[in-house]
Chains A and B, each alone.
Chain A
């Protein structure tokens, strides 16, 4: 059985998990190609225009997989972690895909995930797959166990300072230079994994910043325990990834020597409009420079480059003046 996995959204967080999971069940995993102009334009074509870019991109990847002759396309529906919710668009992803792309109805392999922790390994959620994939509960259980191991391996690499694509390469046995230790500047690059690590979307933000001598810290490089939901700190964003990003920014501002925060956000992202403002206000209080980069279908590469340069130059001057 061939299972297509769109290289979008939480691919950038959970791929090792699902890859191992399906392989353990004896399926072949087919990934869509890296995001490119065609994928984006296909995605825009089929999706309601008001939706955010990442969702359009997801649809674009689904379209591209449709042409790849797969049996099923995996569309996980992330609902909640404990009492916390994912972005409503993640929850509605199934519907969005189903009703935007004709002929998707029978191809879609949906699981509804209501995990207790960061690891989506609740066996109940996967039971509906048993029939479609013709596997037993015991097999599912076993596959989930293995999947969890892969995921944790990847998390460990992230905590060492590797970006997620780097971690994926290492897991595949490739050589990757070790993460930067010393640098002129340290910047918190705050944004969702699917924006930060999709090179077409972020215009290779991490690489660009590193070339300018910046050590980049993203939320996934922090331990989940540091950025976990903590109601004692007052109301927090209740969208999982928004909370992660926001708490990560908060942690960096208060506990780490950072020179600035960059918020990388997608056009028309609902949760970001809230946490972006909150981060900005908090950076203001602590006198830490803050910059927002908002990307849409038309953002140009040179624009991003210039803004990064201006921001890092400013930070360097500030540092020199101190």
Chain B
């Protein structure tokens, strides 16, 4: 069957899985202006931004003849839960005969999850399905690791664009990898390539680090956040993004008792501010801001789709966290109307502020107490 899936960060891993299962993969295009326009045009007006972009991606996939779209439903009160159904209805209305399979989280409904996997497994023997899943899982993990490092190093690249080119090549390498054995080699090669890119790393006390938290879709997919990581890197700061596909898969597929994942720890750190999770990943995000400040980061950028319910709650807590931990946080909403210039200005102002703060080195408790001032300072930016 011709399979497609939404574009979400690096998609090499997903592609591999469907290929191994013997499907013809229709590669989703990286969302472009056309995708966004299509999505906006065909979605309910007040639905959140990720829905619209996914809508656009789906339509483009259908135009190319996709027969099956695989998406993640997610769990909890907010996540894209019934979005799949609405997407499907709209696609049918537009005259595309397409099936949408939504992956639910494994531990909430194991039966349903397995059913979904079998729906797409395409006569592959079960054992092989497991094996492929493992391979792909490992691959996503490795690529995420590489990307993470890239976002640190890219801040210091000597020739602009080197790292992007390098990563494209790495993606190609992985694309041609089909077995665990090959993957070992690919990984070594990839790391080698990454470290061969010339960089100019300043002394430790001059390095500025920014954490990124927020709604998973907009923080993972660069076309929905105006390439914020690249912009930050270009301003000479290192970026650490809290959510990678691999973390997310782990969080959702491995039940808490068996997993000591970072994201669960974040969850616990968030607990002091709120006693329950309100949907998406707001609990983790609240915790993540705390986590970044404890690790000595210079600032945090919080990204959310305009009007996103759970993240609005994170946003309302941010001033309190800044007050308690003294970490500056810039919260921005993304949607189809967000202008590039606006984002750039706000980022620059924010980074200046963070840099000024880090010149003062670590902030003392007295200063933290003073951060009420800071809070005010931010009120303007936020």
Contacts and interface: CB of A to CB of B under 8 A. Distances in A.
A91 B275 CA distance: 10
B191 interface: no
B310 A88 contact: yes
Interface string B83-125: 1111001100100000000000000000000000000000000
A85 B44 contact: no
A137 to B, nearest CB: 21
B47 A274 contact: yes
A203 interface: no
Task: Assign chain B's interface to a size class.
Answer: 35 or more
A80 B83 CA distance: 20
Nearest to B108: A83
Interface stretch (A20-28, A93-101, A161-169, A175-183): A93-101
Given A50-B333, A88-B309, A273-B44, A96 B316 contact: yes
B353 interface: no
A48 B316 contact: yes
A87 B278 CA distance: 9
Interface residues of A, number: 36
Interface in A227-275: 234-239, 267-270, 272-274
B315 A91 contact: no
Contacts of A281: 89-90, 93
Nearest to B310: A88
Interface string B270-309: 0001111111101000000000000000000000001111
Nearest to B275: A112
Interface in B305-358: 306-310, 312-313, 315-317, 319-320, 333
A99 B316 contact: yes
B44 A276 contact: yes
Contacts of B282: 92
A274 B77 CA distance: 14
19 contacts: A50-B333, A77-B276, A88-B280, A88-B309, A89-B309, A91-B279, A92-B310, A92-B312, A94-B274, A95-B274, A95-B278, A95-B313, A95-B317, A99-B319, A235-B81, A270-B308, A273-B45, A274-B86, A277-B47
Given A88-B310, A94-B274, 20 more contacts: A48-B316, A79-B276, A85-B76, A85-B279, A88-B280, A89-B309, A89-B312, A91-B278, A92-B274, A95-B316, A95-B317, A99-B316, A99-B320, A235-B82, A238-B77, A270-B78, A270-B308, A273-B45, A274-B86, A281-B93
